[in-house]
Amino acid sequence: MPRRLLGCLVLVAAFAAPSARAQTAAEQLQYGIEAYRNLELDAAVGFLRRALAVPAETGLSPSERTTALSYLGAAELFGGRRNAATTAFRRLVVHDPRHHLDAVVFPPPVLQLYDEVRRSTRVVMAVAPADTAIVLARDTFTVRLYAAAYHGIRARLIRDDGSVLLSLYDGEVGDSLLLHWDGFDSTGAPAAGRYTLLVESLAPNGTVERVVHFPVEAEVVRLDTLPHPPPPPDSLLLPERQPAGPALRSLTAGVFLGGLAVALPALAGSGSQAGDARFAVGGAVTVAGLIGYFKQKPGRPLPDNIAANQVLLGEWRGRLDTVVRENEVRRDARLRIRTGPPVHEDLGTQ
Amino acid sequence: MSHRAATASTALLVLLSLAPAHLAGQAPVRFAVGATAMQYRVHSELNGETEALSAPGLGFEGAVSVWRIALEGRYLQADLEPSTTSTLARDAAEGHVLLTVRLTPWLGLSTGPLARSYATTLGTQRWVLWTFRARGIPTLVPDLVRGYAELWGALPLDVSVPESWNSGWGGDVGLAVALPRLPVWLRFSYRIEQYRLGDGARQETIDGAVLSLGAGRLW
C-alpha cells in the first residue's frame, strides 16, 4: 500500500512540478508537515527538503527552518533512514543549539535520536549586538555564546590579514558563555579596524570541528565637550542686602520736605502771618522720612531678593551640572562596534 | 500776555506728554475722588491796613489719569470769619483745574486756571489766575507714603482789584498715604499762596493745613 501511494505521489509531484516550483517555501513546509502527519513520509521528506533548499533570503524564517529540520529528521527516521535523520538533526543543532524537540509532537525515538545528536554536536551559536558603542576603559563589548554540548572552544579576534588581534577565550563551554572585549588590542591601544570574531569548536583531540564567525567593525568616536553655561549676569541678580540709597533718599526727602513745609512762609517773606499747621505737617513729613529710612535700613537682608537670586542661581547650577555630567561622558573615548551576521562552517571532521 | 502764557504752557505740557517715559506697570486709566478739608486762613494787607479771616473750608477733588497725563480739579468753599476789627466776613469759594504731565515717576509739571471769589455784603471780588506748577512726589515709605511738594507761579487772567499785578506764587508741601491693597488715600499738607499788587500796596496771603481723604489711585 505505501509503495502504491508513493508511486501516486511521485506521479502527482511530476505532473505538479511547475506549480510546486511556484509554491513558497512556507507552503512547502506546510505540505511537508501534513504529509508527515498522514505518515506519507517520502512525500514529507520531499516537501521539507524543497522548503529547506530555498535560499535564505526568500526561504524560511529561522523558526520555520527549525520546524522544517525537526520534521525532516523525524520523517527520515521513520522512513528507515537513520543516517539521513542524524544529518537533519545535526543541521538543526547547528542552526539552533538551544532548540529542544517538543515531546508532545514527536515520539520518544525521535527525541532520543535528537538528544544523541545534540550531545555529540560540538557547535556554538553567537549572539552579538548589530550596532553598539562602548566607553573605552569602562564598558565591554559582549558576545553571548550558546552551546549544544559541553566542549572546548577558542574565541579570537582576527585581523583581515589573518593574524590574531586578541584571544578572547580558550576553554570549555557548557550551556552558554559570555565573551567580553574591552575594545583594546593586546598592546592596550583602542582597536579600531575591521576584524573577524572567530569561535572554533574543538574536538576532544583539539582539532577544529566547526567554526562560527562574523565581521566586526570597530571605530573610535570622540565627542566634543560642551561649553559651560555662563553664570547669570550681575544685572539679573537682585541686591541681597538693602542698599543705602533708598533709605537715605527717604530720609533726605522727609527732612527736606518737612523743613520746606515749615519754611514756606518765611521764603515768601510772610512768616509772621503763617499758621502753625505747617509745623504739624513738617513734623509728619519728617517722621515719615525717618520711618522710610528705618524700613529700608541699609544692610538689612532682603529675603525676597535672596530667594529670587537662589532660584536664578539654582537654575544655572542645574544647567552647569548637566553639562559637567555630559562632558564627563563625552570626555571618554567610545568605540562604536558594528557586527555582521554570523556564519557557521562545518569542517567535516565529525 | 497771560492768555498767551496759558496757551503756551498747555501746549508745552501736551508736547512733554508725548516724550518717552518709563512708567511701566501703571494702569492705563486711573481715577481718584476725595473730600477735602482746609483750615482756611486769609491775610490781606492794603495800604498798611490788615485784615485777617479764617474758617474751616470744605470741598472735594478728583483726578483722572491716562498713562502719564492727568486732569485734576478741586473745589473748596469757606465762610470766613474776621479775626480783626472792622473787617467784613467773606464767603470764599475757589477751584482749580490742572493738566498734569508726569515727566518721571516722582516729578510732574502742571498748568491750569485757578479761580477764587470773595463775596461780602459790599460785593464780590474775583481772582482768576493761570498757574504753572512743578510737583515732586518722592517716596518716603515704599509702597505706603510719598512726600508731596508743589510750587507754582501765577499770572492774572481776571482780577477785580484796581491795583496792578506784581507777583503771585504758591506752595503746597506734605505727604500722601496710599494703602497698597486698598484704593484709599489720604493727603495731609500745608498750603500757602501769596499775591502782591500795586507795588506792594496790596498783599494777599492764603494759607492753611489741608487734609484730603479719597478713594481710587492717586499715582
| Mean pLDDT (chain B, rounded) | 88
Q: B169 to chain A nearest CA, in Å?
A: 9
Distance in Å from the first CA to the final CA of chain B:
33
Rounded average pLDDT over A141-164: 92
Point out the residue among A250, A260, A282 whose CB comes nearest to the CB of B140.
A250
Are residues A257 and B39, on separate chains, in Cβ contact within 8 Å?
A: no
What SS3 state is found at B138? coil
> How many angstroms separate the CA atoms of A69 and A88, rounded?
6
| Partners of residue B149 in chain A, C-beta under 8 Å | 257, 260
| Partners of residue A281 in chain B, C-beta under 8 Å | 173-175, 188-190, 209
Residues in contact with B127: Cβ distance below 8 Å, sequence separation at least 6, in sequence order: B114, B115, B116, B117, B118, B156, B159, B160, B195, B204
Interior angle at CA A39, CA A36 and CA A43, nearest 5: 60
Are residues A284 and B175, on separate chains, in Cβ contact within 8 Å?
A: yes
Rounded average pLDDT over A13-25: 54
Q: Give residue A92's region: left, alpha or beta (phi > 0; psi -120 to 50).
A: alpha
Question: Containing H/E element for B8?
Answer: helix B2-18
Residues in contact with B81: Cβ distance below 8 Å, sequence separation at least 6, in sequence order: B53, B54, B55, B89
Among A242, A249, A278, most B C-beta atoms within 10 A, so best to mutate, is A278
Rounded average pLDDT over A53-78: 90
| Mean pLDDT (chain A, rounded) | 87
Are residues A246 and B142, on separate chains, in Cβ contact within 8 Å?
A: yes
> How many angstroms separate the CA atoms of A42 and A9, rounded?
9
Q: B76 to chain A nearest CA, in Å?
A: 18
Are residues B174 and A281, on separate chains, in Cβ contact within 8 Å?
A: yes
On whether any CB of chain A is under 8 Å from the CB of B179, the answer is no
Point out the residue among A265, A281, A291 whose CB comes nearest to the CB of B141.
A291
Summarize pLDDT for A238-276 with one digit per residue, the tens: 988 888 888 999 999 999 999 999 998 888 666 566 778
What pLDDT score does B166 carry?
Answer: 92
The answer, yes or no, to whether residue A16 has pLDDT greater than 60, is no
On whether any CB of chain A is under 8 Å from the CB of B153, the answer is no
Are residues B209 and A273, on separate chains, in Cβ contact within 8 Å?
A: no
Rounded average pLDDT over A324-338: 85
> How many angstroms separate the CA atoms of B195 and B186, rounded?
29
> How many angstroms separate the CA atoms of A225 and A321, rounded?
13
**Helix/strand/coil (H/E/C) assignment for every residue in chain A:** CHHHHHHHHHHHHHHCHHHHHHCCHHHHHHHHHHHHHCCCHHHHHHHHHHHHHCCCCCCCCHHHHHHHHHHHHHHHHHCCCHHHHHHHHHHHHHHCCCCCCCCCCCCHHHHHHHHHHHHHCCCEEEECCCEEEEECCCCCEEEEEEECCCEEEEEEEEECCCCEEEEEEEEEECCEEEEEECCECCCCCECCEEEEEEEEEECCCCCEEEEEEEEEEEEEECCCCCCCCCCCCHHHCCCCECCHHHHHHHHHHHHHHHHHHHHHHHHCCCHHHCCCHHHHHHHHHHHHHHHHHHHCCCCCECHHHHHHHHHHHHHHHHHHHHHHHHHHHHHCCEEEEEECCCEEEECCCC
> How many angstroms separate the CA atoms of B1 and B157, rounded?
9
Summarize pLDDT for B154-191 with one digit per residue, the tens: 999 999 988 999 999 999 999 999 988 889 999 999 99
> How many angstroms separate the CA atoms of A223 and A328, rounded?
11
Are residues B189 and A281, on separate chains, in Cβ contact within 8 Å?
A: yes
The backbone torsions φ and ψ at residue A190, rounded to the nearest 5 degrees and listed phi first, read -55, 130
On whether any CB of chain A is under 8 Å from the CB of B219, the answer is no
What pLDDT score does A348 carry?
Answer: 64
Q: Which three cell numbers stand for residue A17?
A: 512540478
The answer, yes or no, to whether residue A14 has pLDDT greater than 50, is no
On whether any CB of chain A is under 8 Å from the CB of B190, the answer is yes
Are residues A291 and B174, on separate chains, in Cβ contact within 8 Å?
A: no
Interior angle at CA A126, CA A122 and CA A128, nearest 5: 170
Strands (E), chain B: 29-46, 49-66, 69-82, 90-104, 107-120, 123-136, 139-141, 145-159, 165-178, 184-197, 202-216
Q: How confident is the model at residue B48 (pLDDT cuts 50, 70, 90)?
A: confident
Q: A324 to chain B nearest CA, in Å?
A: 40
DSSP letters for B72-85: EEEEEEEEEEESST
Rounded average pLDDT over B110-116: 95
Say if residues A37 and A74 touch (Cβ distance below 8 Å). no
Are residues B173 and A296, on separate chains, in Cβ contact within 8 Å?
A: no
Between the CA of residue A3 and those of A31, A45, A71, A172, A230, what are the distances in Å?
A: 19, 15, 21, 49, 90
> How many angstroms separate the CA atoms of A222 and B8, rounded?
75
DSSP one-letter code for B126: E
On whether any CB of chain A is under 8 Å from the CB of B149, the answer is yes
Summarize pLDDT for A165-209 with one digit per residue, the tens: 999 999 999 889 999 999 888 888 888 899 999 999 999 998 999
Torsion over CA: A64, A70, A73, A76 (sign): negative
On whether any CB of chain A is under 8 Å from the CB of B207, the answer is yes
- CA-nearest residue to B172 within chain A is A261
Residues in contact with A317: Cβ distance below 8 Å, sequence separation at least 6, in sequence order: none
Say if residues B97 and B81 touch (Cβ distance below 8 Å). no
Q: Which three cell numbers stand for residue B20?
A: 518717552
Least confident of A111-125, A138-152, A318-332, B93-107: A318-332
Are residues B205 and A282, on separate chains, in Cβ contact within 8 Å?
A: no
**How many CA within 13 A on the CB side of residue B9?**
23
> How many angstroms separate the CA atoms of A278 and A259, rounded?
10
Q: Is A328 exposed, middle or buried (0-12, 13-18, 19+ CB in 10 A)?
A: exposed
Longest Cα separation, chain B: 57
The answer, yes or no, to whether residue A20 has pLDDT greater than 50, is no
Q: Whose CA is closest to B184, among B146, B143, B215, B219?
A: B215
Are residues A253 and B138, on separate chains, in Cβ contact within 8 Å?
A: yes
On whether any CB of chain A is under 8 Å from the CB of B171, the answer is yes
Q: Could you give the angle at which helices A82-95 and A62-78 cross, rounded to 10 degrees?
A: 160
Say if residues A126 and A143 touch (Cβ distance below 8 Å). yes
Interior angle at CA A166, CA A161 and CA A172, nearest 5: 120
Q: What is the CA radius of gyration of chain B?
A: 18
Q: Which three cell numbers stand for residue B75?
A: 473745589
Are residues A281 and B173, on separate chains, in Cβ contact within 8 Å?
A: yes
Among B45, B145, B187, B206, most A C-beta atoms within 10 A, so best to mutate, is B145
Q: Which residue has the higher pLDDT, B85 or A293?
A: A293
Are residues A253 and B194, on separate chains, in Cβ contact within 8 Å?
A: no
Summarize pLDDT for B201-211 with one digit per residue, the tens: 999 999 999 99
Q: B13 to chain A nearest CA, in Å?
A: 25
Longest Cα separation, chain A: 149
Are residues A261 and B189, on separate chains, in Cβ contact within 8 Å?
A: yes
| Partners of residue A253 in chain B, C-beta under 8 Å | 138-140, 147
Q: B163 to chain A nearest CA, in Å?
A: 20
> How many angstroms separate the CA atoms of A66 and A28, rounded?
14
Interface size A-B, in CB pairs within 8 Å, comes to 102
| Partners of residue A292 in chain B, C-beta under 8 Å | 139-142, 145
What pLDDT score does A57 carry?
Answer: 75
What pLDDT score does A17 carry?
Answer: 45
What pLDDT score does B218 carry?
Answer: 76
Q: Which three cell numbers stand for residue B169?
A: 506764587
What pLDDT score does A201 carry?
Answer: 93
What pLDDT score does B18 carry?
Answer: 61
Are residues A264 and B175, on separate chains, in Cβ contact within 8 Å?
A: no
> How many angstroms separate the CA atoms of B95 and B58, rounded?
12
Are residues A285 and B207, on separate chains, in Cβ contact within 8 Å?
A: no
Are residues B142 and A265, on separate chains, in Cβ contact within 8 Å?
A: no
